[in-house]
Structure 1
Amino acid sequence: MSTIAPLVVSTVRSFRASPPANGSTSTTISSSSVRPAPGKSWLACALGNRACRDGFSVLYKRVPRLFADLAQARGEGRLARLIAALERVNLLILDDWGPEALTADQRRDLLEIVDDRYDKGSLLITSQVPVSQWHDVIAEPMTS
């Protein structure tokens, strides 16, 4: 799989792309300011748009909606199918991660999604929470 090229815009306080050995890319766009900074979601959508134009499959999900969808799928007995569908896309964009601490189910689901993407596809996460505080949001030392 080809790497989806990152783009940096001045409204983003930090940008990190770590390409694994397989050529896929994990990207985090976060703001270290106290106030919400504009541009993270726009940048994620722009990267997703570019990936689509380059022939990659892309799925954009706001994290609160993703967790609601996962909880509903769990209740309806179709969680495995939803996780498999998330795994199949080349680029998964998770927007607005981290405003609230994760529940145990959300931690397990997020870990499974991230783990399934390793060596298979790219993951882009936007957050207003600085990466240094993500351990607090995950709230579970073994998972974080």
Structure 2
Amino acid sequence: MKKIALTLFAVVISAAIFAQAKKADELVKFAELKHNFGKIKQGTPVTHVFEFTNISGKPLVIENASASCGCTTPTWPQQPVAQGKGNKITAGFNAAAPGPFDKTVFVKVSGADQPLELRISGEVLTAEQYASYESTKGKKSGK
């Protein structure tokens, strides 16, 4: 009987703990979660700003923003963001290697059980490929 009572107690406590956990998208609203840079020239770093608004009922803390690889560098606000106010997370990409890319920035929000994911993508072209791309782009637009 004691084992059944202890098991039942553990289940109830676990359910209460998980019920209190929030999802990051219940605390913060991003204007966009994905950005495609299109075709970019190798060796020319690019950045994109992901704007967000605090939709929670209290100051919001971005605990961390980490990238899926070393070629992507996120920056995030170090101070709490007041209720209803906005801020930004910037994702930089070094464009060192040619080829398509799809990178993720994991954003850990205080009070959320899982990180939110921001994605950047595009294709890095060598200097020759980029020059060819630009010349055909100009012809298509009537220049």
Fold shared by both chains (TM-score > 0.5):
no
**Structure in which a larger fraction of residues adopt helix:** 1
**Structure in which a larger fraction of residues adopt strand:** 2
Q: TM-score w.r.t. structure 1 length?
A: 0.28
Q: TM-score w.r.t. structure 2 length?
A: 0.28
